[in-house]
C-alpha cells in the first residue's frame, strides 16, 4: 500500500487515542502529526500528508466539539497552503471553549526549529526594548516556545520500537518519562494507551532532585 494509506489510518489512530485519553482523565495530549523533516519526502507523499492535515481538521471538527476536545497547533503553519492553514485555524477557533481534553497537534513542527524561532522572538523583543538579556531565564524562554502555556509532558510514548526523539519537543521533554512500544502508530488506541499508562504508574519521578 502507498505511504498515504498508512498516514490516513494514523488519523483514525489519533481519533481513537484522543477518545481513550479523555476517558482516562488525561487533560493534555500532544501528537506529532507532521515534522519539518517530512517536507523532504517525495512530492507525492508530501502532497498527501498536506491534504490529510487539512481534510482531517474539517472532518473531525464536529466530533471534537461533541466530545469536548480543544485543539491547538504548534509548528510553522506558514509552509502550508492557505486553505490548509484556514482549516486548522477554524477548528482551533471552533473548539476553544471545549474543556474535556486539550489536543495539541504538532504540524510542520521540529524541536530545533521551535527553539530557533523562539530565540528570534526573544531577540526581537530585546531589540524593541521589551526584554533584556539579563531577564532571560529558562522559565522566560519557555514563554517564547510554541508550547507556551502548556505543561511539559509527563510522558513521552514512542511507537514503532524507535528509541529516539526524532526532533520532537526536545526542550520540553527534558524530564519526561519515556516509554517505547513496538506497536505501529496506525494500530495505536485504547488498549495500547492503557498499557503505557500502567507502566507509567510504576515510574518514580524525581526531576533530578
Tell whether 190 is covered by a domain.
Answer: no
- CA angle 98-99-104, nearest 5°? 80
126/83 same-domain check: no
Tell whether 208 is covered by a domain.
Answer: no
Tell whether 62 is covered by a domain.
Answer: yes
Q: Measured between alpha carbons, how far is residue 146 from residues 17, 34, 63, 152 in Å?
A: 23, 15, 25, 12
Ordered DSSP codes for 122-145: HHHHHHTTS--GGG--HHHHHTTS
- The x, y and z cell numbers of residue 209, run together, are 532532585
Tell whether 206 is covered by a domain.
Answer: no
Tell whether 33 is covered by a domain.
Answer: yes
CATH of the domain at 52: 3.40.1180.10
155: left (phi over 0), alpha (psi -120 to 50) or beta: beta
Position 110 scores a pLDDT of: 97
- The x, y and z cell numbers of residue 127, run together, are 531589540
Is the model's pLDDT at 2 over the cut of 90? Answer: no
Position 205 scores a pLDDT of: 84
Tell whether 189 is covered by a domain.
Answer: no
What are 52-93's pLDDT values in tens digits? 999 999 999 999 999 999 999 999 999 999 999 999 999 999
Is the model's pLDDT at 161 over the cut of 80? Answer: yes
89/115 same-domain check: no
Q: Is the pTM of this model over 0.75?
A: yes
Position 70 scores a pLDDT of: 98
160/74 same-domain check: no
Q: Is 69 helix (H, G, I), strand (E, B) or coil?
A: strand
Give CA–CA dist 1/5, Å, rounded. Answer: 6
Is the model's pLDDT at 204 over the cut of 80? Answer: yes
Give CA–CA dist 154/206, Å, rounded. Answer: 12
129/165 same-domain check: yes
Write down the mean pLDDT value for the chain. 95
Q: Which of 100, 109, 12, 27 is nearest to 59 (CA)?
A: 12
Position 133 scores a pLDDT of: 95
28/125 same-domain check: no
Q: Final residue of a domain: which of 74, 89, 109?
A: 109
The residue-averaged pLDDT of 174-178 equals: 95
79/4 same-domain check: yes
52/74 same-domain check: yes
Q: Which of 102, 138, 104 is nearest to 118 (CA)?
A: 138
Q: How many domains does the chain have?
A: 2
Confidence band of 194 (pLDDT split at 50, 70, 90): very high
Tell whether 204 is covered by a domain.
Answer: no
User: Is pLDDT larger for residue 18 or for residue 7?
Assistant: 18
Range of the domain at 20: 1-109
Position 85 scores a pLDDT of: 97
86/177 same-domain check: no
What are 93-148's pLDDT values in tens digits? 999 999 999 999 999 999 999 999 999 999 999 999 999 999 999 999 999 999 99
Position 208 scores a pLDDT of: 75
Give CA–CA dist 149/163, Å, rounded. Answer: 28
pLDDT > 70 fraction of the chain, expressed in percent and rounded: 100
Confidence band of 5 (pLDDT split at 50, 70, 90): confident
85/154 same-domain check: no
Amino acid at each position: 500500500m502507498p505511504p498515504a494509506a498508512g498516514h490516513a489510518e494514523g488519523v483514525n489512530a489519533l481519533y481513537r487515542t484522543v477518545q481513550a485519553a479523555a476517558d482516562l482523565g488525561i487533560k493534555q495530549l500532544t501528537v506529532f502529526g507532521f515534522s519539518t523533516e517530512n517536507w523532504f519526502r517525495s512530492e507525492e507523499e508530501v502532497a498527501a500528508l498536506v491534504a490529510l492535515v487539512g481534510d482531517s481538521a474539517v472532518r473531525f471538527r464536529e466530533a471534537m466539539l461533541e466530545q469536548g476536545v480543544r485543539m491547538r497547533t504548534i509548528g510553522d503553519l506558514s509552509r502550508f497552503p492557505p486553505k490548509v492553514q484556514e482549516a486548522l485555524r477554524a477548528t482551533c477557533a471552533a473548539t476553544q471553549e471545549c474543556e474535556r481534553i486539550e489536543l495539541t497537534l504538532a504540524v510542520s513542527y521540529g524541536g530545533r526549529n521551535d527553539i530557533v524561532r523562539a530565540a528570534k522572538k526573544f531577540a526581537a523583543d530585546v531589540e524593541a526594548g521589551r526584554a533584556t538579556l539579563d531577564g532571560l531565564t529558562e522559565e522566560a524562554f519557555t514563554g517564547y516556545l510554541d508550547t507556551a502555556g502548556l505543561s511539559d509532558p509527563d510522558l513521552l510514548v514512542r511507537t514503532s520500537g524507535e528509541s529516539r526523539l526524532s526532533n520532537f519537543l526536545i526542550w520540553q521533554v527534558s524530564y519526561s518519562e519515556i516509554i517505547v512500544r513496538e506497536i505501529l502508530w496506525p494500530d495505536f488506541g485504547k488498549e495500547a494507551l492503557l498499557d503505557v499508562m500502567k507502566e507509567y504508574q510504576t515510574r518514580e519521578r524525581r526531576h533530578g532532585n
